Amino acid sequence: MLSTTFLVAGLSTGQKIGLATVGGLFIVFALVSSFVLPRRNPNFPGRHVGWFATVGILFFVAMITAVLVFGKEKPEAETGTGSETTTEQTSTAPAPTTTSGGGGGAQGDATAGKAVFSSAGCGGCHTLKAAGSSGNVGPNLDQLKPDFATVQHQVENGGGGMPAFKGMLTPKQIADVSAFVASSAAGS
């Protein structure tokens, strides 16, 4: 349930509206055809069962199509830039293995960050040996070895399928989990 919430949080407003509209129409059709129409015509759908089945199938196909269309991630220029930035930062990341923020000046507590990593559900998507997680939806953090600033930016802003945690976690929690991931991944 928590991972579904994070996936929905990663959708744009237009995608949410599209899914809600098609889903709402499907629900209205189901309710009307199961409660209202049988009350008006006890023999419903009667001799019009073919039309009823066709409309039901069309609504089903529309809902599946809406999920495929509106649930699809939009390609972001940031995703390409993020991987290039990660490559650049990864090459400089092994030198500083402290928990201080690389440029932001913010510091995080890696020990507290381990609890945030667990409570925020990060392990459901990411592999990180230090956290005992083996998720395979997001990148393997042990292999990626992101630095503090990269982790902090990604956690705050999301992108590439990951929701933004800026409104869900406090700045201290974001700094803590960033310090944990950066120090743990660099040490692996």
List the chain domain ranges: 2-70, 77-187
C-alpha distances in Å from residue 99, one per residue of 77, 93, 148, 172: 29, 12, 7, 13
For residues 22 and 7, give the distance between their C-alpha atoms in angstroms, rounded to a whole number: 18
99-135: b (≥16 Cβ within 10 Å) or e:
bebbeeebbbbbebbbebbeebebeebbbbebbebeb
Instruction: Work out the angle between the directed axes of helices 77-92 and 148-157 (0-180°, nearest 10).
Output: 160
CATH topology of domain 77-187: Cytochrome Bc1 Complex; Chain D, domain 2 (1.10.760)
The pTM score is 0.46
Q: Per-residue pLDDT for the chain (188 aa), expressed as one digit of tens each?
A: 555 555 666 677 888 888 889 889 999 999 998 899 889 988 988 888 999 999 999 999 998 998 888 877 665 544 444 444 443 343 333 333 344 434 444 578 989 999 998 898 898 889 899 888 888 888 889 898 889 999 999 999 988 788 889 888 999 999 999 999 989 877 76
